[in-house]
Amino acid sequence: MPLESSLAPVPGRVAALNTRYRHHGATAVLDRALSDSEVGRTALVSSFGAESVVLLHMVSVVAPDTPVLFIDTEMLFAETLEYQRDVSEKLGLTNVQVIRPAREQVFRRDTDSLLHQSDTDACCALRKTEPLQNALAPYDAWITGRKRFQGGAREALQFFESEADIRIKVNPLAHWAKDDVREYMVNNRLPRHPLVSRGYPSIGCWPCTSPVKDGEDERAGRWRGSDKEECGIHFVDGKMVRGRAA
């Protein structure tokens, strides 16, 4: 559970923040999220995936000492781990925190590292959802890189949303199009994740991520062959999201 806070209830603050900043751009929303007292203690959660460098760069310009939480599930691609180290150094991020699943829980629930083969939801809970929720406990809000164009449960994203009335999620890039992301990377000469050029436009853990063919949705390579579309770290209308939301 998060630390005690003197802030007003989350739903009311979310509504007020969306009204206050609805005409702002991504950088302004990020800047305000890190300085507005109505948001509270805030961290950036980053997968250091295909498009993560955009938000990481914005944070490095606005406030490079912002806490950056990186969940190492211990099943990530080697390229992702190397990319995380390289980008953190290149951008001068001074407060990157690598979060890993609890040793005793992995030993109890996935000692052979084969849980993903029988129950992907349980594997995500053990290696990503639970470690992230524990890491977020001291914070009132967290920043994500989700965007409307990614589809599914993300199609109606706003800049600020309630996470089960516990804390605020901030989505500075919610209204960006794919071309906006690409142009920002090019204009700022940002390094791309090495797997993108090999057909991975959305990158998660190696056992559950596959290349995407031309014409496929960019998240088609995540948990291919199942109805699972999210790892479970996000909530919509107070409910954890696994598949496509209505």
- The residue ranges of every structural domain in the chain are 10-240
pTM of the predicted model as reported, rounded to 2 decimal places: 0.87
Question: Residues in the chain with pLDDT < 50?
Answer: 1-2, 234-246
Active site residue 123: no
Question: Please, which residues have CB within 8 angstroms of residue 84's CB and are 6 or more apart in sequence?
Answer: 48, 70, 96, 98
3 state SS of 118: helix
The pLDDT tens digits of the residues spanning 1-34 come to 445 567 899 999 999 999 999 999 999 999 999 9
Q: What is the pLDDT of residue 235?
A: 46
The proportion of the chain whose per-residue pLDDT surpasses 70, expressed as a percent, equals 89
CA dihedral 112, 118, 122, 124 (to 10 degrees): 80
Q: What is the pLDDT of residue 239?
A: 45
Which one is catalytic: 123, 124, 205, 231? 231
Choose which CATH entry (3.40.50.620, 3.40.50.1220, 3.40.710.10, 3.40.50.300) describes domain 10-240: 3.40.50.620
Q: What is the pLDDT of residue 20?
A: 94
Q: What is the pLDDT of residue 223?
A: 85
Alpha-carbon distance of 178 to 50, in angstroms, equals 12
Backbone phi, psi, residue 132, to 5°: -65, -45
